[in-house]
């Protein structure tokens, strides 16, 4: 399948806990960390150690200005939503409309003492876009995650939204206590502000609130974060069993993994291995999936114990990908990711077999749980869309903002036909005629749109070649007898964190098949909550961009950006736009799509997902 490599995903991770060692006679924080790691074999460190390590690299002015040059070059030349991002949000969304290039230029006149402060400030600017695909950062500052051994959830009681303790591995008697205040401020307010300002993986504030409290560690949250917290400790005011309030003061502890800790012994080696690694070394640590090593530390504590629950029958589980369950009179399909670690025909066969087995139980209703999904492969989107709804077209239409740089790169790729190039458009056909593009100009067309007050050129709309869709569709047909479920027998359940490829699956089900949706959680005073987030476009990173430009001989072209000055830095962003089919002018990334129904978390369903599934199933067939 030729679209295996095309990614619609966002790869983020998170991290960890506390410890106190006085090693303070050693001024180099990175060296202190190394010493403790060797002496005590510990993987958790103090706030002071990690802060001193991270802040030990002074900012080189040349690095700063080259970084800004590269970022403005990449965004100006290739970011699909550069001009669209200047428009104010649709009602229901919450983000700052901005001229990203102008904002980046402001950094040229700011002065910073450390590389950390500069990097984090630039990262924040990108986060303000609230475009989960578009991130700047450095591996240099994501090797530790901060944690206080507590996680949280939110319930609505008598119209009042409260924060409660989900887990506390230090003092279990705190579990389920209400958190009334955090550092003296109302807890709900603190979490809401964190969601508004620090969480970026959705344009919907309610979804960001869910992410702030997410304890599956698919993304950073209020409780588990990469960025150095403002101060070394945090005080939670708890109220348990209607007794008096009391304070729990916790230090932030920084966790890492042995893979990282084995790679440095002082700040110089830290810098050389993480902030500016040479090519060979970089491979070992570059993929974001490595962070799962850290993430796994937390997961063990909070796993949802579906396996042991008597109320549910496990029909089939394709590891770390899809689960099929039966409860009472309904079935559940739980998709965990669109980015399975192994993507093979055998894996897809197992999914089809599970689907068939669930159908054979005779259940008439199906809950499709798409919560906490960060996306994956285009081929997986097509696969699920065809599996669930074989009679509807499985994809949306794309286009590309044609800047001077984009025009040059695509034109060169048409001429040279290099392999694995992000500028390769050969797999796509004209969305109106389904004809192959015969030349670069045929691909570009002459569409001029005004976005954010800027007149820009946009390519012809394109879609997937019938051959590639047919390949997947025939594959599915060979293996399934048609199932009896109709679109009205399904309900899609999410916490809004159904992004990228997941959003494609959810929005396809809704737009093409009128499937009902229910979203759980969010901020109670906001009536609507999105069932998916950041459909975006296909996402690429700066490494792929420069590799592709290199293959086209364009690296030294004056129009093109130069690679980032430190190899630990990286930028990801989407290079195309995705449109609704029914409303052909609607760019999905900027269209607010609330769920038909809303559920809230409570003390029971937060720990027992089968309750939530039953609540969702009860809505199937009811009036929206
Ligand atoms: C840090 O890790 C050590 C074991 O490696 C453990 O004994 C200690 O409790 C941890 N500290 C905290 C605060 O979790
Ligand atoms: C930076 O400062 C210089 C002079 O101090 C000024 O001319 C220039 O306009 C400033 N640039 C930005 C982007 O603010
Ligand atoms: C805190 O959480 C970490 C990660 O789950 C765990 O390894 C550690 O033992 C916990 N610390 C304490 C003191 O319970
Ligand atoms: C609150 O009550 C529950 C049982 O009702 C008990 O397990 C828990 O320890 C109590 N918490 C506190 C802080 O007293
Ligand atoms: C750190 O490790 C490098 C090799 O990885 C070694 O050359 C150097 O001597 C070590 N430094 C210290 C302080 O142990
Ligand atoms: C960039 O993307 C490629 C292809 O998906 C991946 O192999 C590589 O690890 C990514 N690099 C970074 C720095 O994330
Ligand atoms: C379109 O291009 C594909 C390969 O890119 C080729 O297999 C197919 O035959 C072409 N179709 C037509 C009608 O030229
Ligand atoms: C759009 O493309 C035309 C050439 O096809 C070019 O003359 C014009 O400058 C482009 N406009 C923009 C805003 O890039
Ligand atoms: C491709 O598929 C579309 C939609 O299913 C169909 O309308 C069209 O006729 C097909 N085109 C070709 C060339 O097969
Ligand atoms: C599906 O079945 C057809 C006809 O039996 C066969 O020609 C084709 O190779 C099969 N495709 C796959 C992907 O198994
Ligand atoms: C979608 O479903 C709703 C409720 O079942 C119904 O009112 C509406 O007409 C349907 N829309 C379409 C386009 O089928
Ligand atoms: C979860 O809730 C179901 C009802 O939906 C109940 O039958 C089951 O016992 C509960 N499981 C646990 C572990 O409490």
pLDDT computed for residue 435 by the predictor: 97
From the list 203, 255, 197, 193, the residue with the least C-alpha distance to 225 is: 255
- Residue 284: its pLDDT value, please? 47
pLDDT at 443: 98
How far is the centre of ligand 5, averaged over its atoms, from the C-alpha of 15 (Å)? 27
Q: Quick one: which ligand is closest to 31's CA?
A: 5
Residue 265 is predicted with a pLDDT of 96
pLDDT of residue 288: 44
Distance CA 153, CA 159 (A): 16
List, in order, residues 6 or more apart from 586 with CB less than 8 Å away: 579, 580
Q: How far is the CA of 169 from the centre of ligand 1 (A)?
A: 11
What are the helix (H) ranges across 331-377?
345-360
Ligand 7 pocket: which of 427, 433, 436 to mutate (most atoms <8 Å of CB)? Answer: 436
Of residues 508, 498, 501, the one with CA closest to residue 530: 498
Q: Ligand 2: distance of its center to the CA of 109 in Å?
A: 6
Nearest CA to ligand 10 atom 5: 478
Q: How far apart are CA 247 and CA 183, in angstroms?
A: 9
CA atoms of 174 and 157, how far apart (whole Å): 19
For residue 61, the CA-to-ligand 2 centroid distance in Å is 15
Q: What's this model's pTM, rounded to 2 decimal places? A: 0.93
Measured in angstroms, how far is the CA atom of residue 221 from the centroid of ligand 1?
21
Find out whether the beta carbon of 171 lies less than 6 Å from any atom of ligand 3: no
Q: Which residue from 309, 312, 604, 618 has its CB within 8 A of the most atoms of ligand 12, so it is best to mutate?
A: 309
Q: Where are the domains of the chain?
A: 2-42, 145-256, 303-395+469-535+578-617, 397-467+537-577
**Which architecture characterizes domain 145-256 according to CATH?**
Roll (2.30)
> Which ligand has the shortest distance to the CA of 472?
10
Are the C-beta atoms of residues 196 and 208 closer than 8 Å to each other? yes
- 3-state percent helix, strand, coil for the chain, nearest multiple of 5: 35, 20, 40
Q: Does residue 544's CB lie within 6 angstroms of at least one atom of ligand 6?
A: yes
Query: Atom 8 in ligand 1: which residue has the minimum CA distance?
Result: 19
Cβ 474 under 6 angstroms from ligand 10:
yes
* Terminal-residue alpha carbon distance, the chain: 38
- Any atom of ligand 10 within 6 Å of the Cβ of 478: yes
C-beta of 601 in contact with ligand 10 (< 6 A): no
43 Cα–ligand 1 center, Å: 8
Find out whether 373 and 202 touch, Cβ atoms under 8 Å.
no
Q: What one-character DSSP code corresponds to residue 499?
A: B
Ligand 12 pocket member 281 (CB < 6 A): no
Considering Cα of 428, then 431, then 436, then 439, what sign does the dihedral take? negative
Q: Which of 99, 105, 109 to mutate to test the pocket of ligand 2 (most atoms within 8 A of CB)?
A: 109
Q: Residue of the nearest CA to atom 9 in ligand 7?
A: 436
Look at the alpha carbons of 330, 334, 338, 343 in this order and tell me if their dihedral is positive or negative: negative
pLDDT of res. 624: 82
d(CA 126, CA 118): 13
Determine the pLDDT at residue 302.
42
Taking CB atoms and a 6 Å cutoff, what residues make up the pocket around ligand 1?
17-19, 42, 44, 253
Give the atom of ligand 7 at the shortest distance from the alpha carbon of 435. 13
Chunked mean pLDDT (size 10), the chain, 624 residues: 64 32 70 97 96 97 98 98 98 98 97 98 98 95 93 94 95 97 98 97 97 82 94 98 95 92 96 87 46 51 58 90 94 94 90 94 97 93 94 95 98 97 96 97 98 98 93 81 89 97 98 98 97 95 97 98 96 97 96 98 93 97 89
Structurally, what CATH architecture does the domain formed by 303-395+469-535+578-617 represent? Alpha-Beta Complex (3.90)
Ligand 5 binding pocket includes 35 (Cβ within 6 Å): no
Q: What is the residue whose two structure tokens read 């996680």?
A: 151
């Amino acid at each position: 399948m030729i679209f295996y490599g095309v990614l619609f995903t966002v790869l983020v991770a998170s991290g960890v806990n506390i410890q106190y060692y006085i090693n303070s006679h050693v001024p180099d924080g990175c060296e202190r960390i190394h010493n403790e790691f060797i002496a005590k074999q510990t993987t958790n460190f103090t706030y002071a150690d990690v802060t001193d390590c991270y802040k030990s690299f002074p900012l080189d002015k040349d690095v700063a200005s080259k970084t800004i040059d590269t970022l403005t070059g990449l965004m100006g030349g290739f970011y699909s939503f550069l001009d669209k991002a200047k428009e104010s949000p649709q009602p229901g969304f919450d983000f700052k409309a901005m001229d990203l290039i102008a904002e980046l230029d402001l950094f040229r006149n700011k002065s910073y003492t450390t590389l950390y402060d500069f990097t984090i400030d630039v990262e924040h600017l990108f986060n303000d876009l609230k475009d989960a695909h578009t991130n700047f950062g450095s591996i240099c500052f994501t090797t530790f995650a901060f944690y206080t051994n507590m996680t949280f959830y939110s319930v609505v009681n008598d119209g009042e939204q409260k924060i409660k303790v989900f887990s506390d591995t230090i003092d279990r008697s705190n579990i389920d206590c209400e958190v009334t205040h955090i550092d003296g401020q109302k807890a709900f307010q603190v979490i809401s502000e964190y969601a508004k300002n620090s969480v970026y993986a959705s344009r919907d504030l309610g979804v960001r609130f869910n992410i702030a409290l997410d304890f599956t560690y698919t993304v950073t949250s209020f409780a588990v974060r990469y960025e150095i917290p403002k101060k070394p400790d945090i005080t939670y005011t708890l109220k348990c069993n209607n007794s008096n309030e009391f304070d729990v003061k916790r230090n932030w502890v920084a966790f890492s993994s042995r893979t990282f800790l084995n790679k440095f012994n002082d700040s110089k080696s830290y810098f050389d291995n993480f902030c500016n690694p040479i090519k060979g070394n970089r491979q070992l640590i570059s993929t974001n999936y490595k962070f799962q090593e850290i993430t796994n530390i937390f997961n063990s504590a909070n796993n949802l114990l579906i396996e042991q629950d008597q109320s549910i029958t496990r029909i089939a589980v394709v590891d770390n990908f899809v689960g099929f369950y039966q409860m009472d009179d309904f079935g559940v399909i739980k998709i965990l990711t669109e980015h399975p670690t192994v993507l093979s025909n055998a894996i897809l066969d197992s999914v089809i077999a599970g689907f068939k087995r669930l159908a054979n139980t005779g259940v008439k209703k199906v809950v499709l749980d798409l919560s906490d999904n960060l996306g994956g492969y285009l081929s997986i989107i097509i696969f699920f869309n065809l599996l669930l709804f074989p009679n509807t077209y499985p994809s949306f239409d794309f286009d590309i903002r044609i800047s001077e740089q984009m025009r040059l790169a695509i034109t060169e790729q048409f001429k040279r036909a290099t392999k694995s190039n992000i500028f390769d458009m050969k797999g796509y056909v004209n969305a109106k005629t389904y004809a192959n593009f015969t030349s670069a100009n045929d691909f570009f067309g002459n569409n001029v749109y005004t976005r954010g007050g800027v007149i820009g050129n946009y390519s012809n709309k394109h879609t997937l070649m019938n051959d590639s869709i047919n390949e997947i569709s025939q594959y599915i047909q060979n293996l399934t007898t048609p199932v009896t479920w109709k679109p009205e027998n399904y309900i899609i359940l999410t916490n809004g964190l159904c992004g990228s490829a997941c959003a494609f699956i959810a929005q396809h089900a809704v737009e093409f098949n009128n499937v009902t949706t229910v979203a759980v959680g969010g901020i109670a005073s906001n009536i609507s909550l999105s069932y998916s987030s950041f459909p975006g476009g296909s996402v690429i990173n700066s490494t792929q961009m420069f590799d592709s430009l290199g293959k086209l001989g364009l690296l030294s072209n004056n129009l093109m950006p130069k690679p980032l000055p430190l190899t630990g830095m990286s930028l990801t962003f989407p290079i195309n736009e995705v449109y609704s089919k029914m409303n052909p002018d609607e760019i999905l990334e900027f269209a607010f799509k609330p769920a038909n129904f809303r559920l809230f978390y409570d003390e029971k369903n937060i720990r027992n997902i089968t309750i939530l599934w039953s609540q969702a199933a009860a809505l199937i067939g009811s009036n929206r």
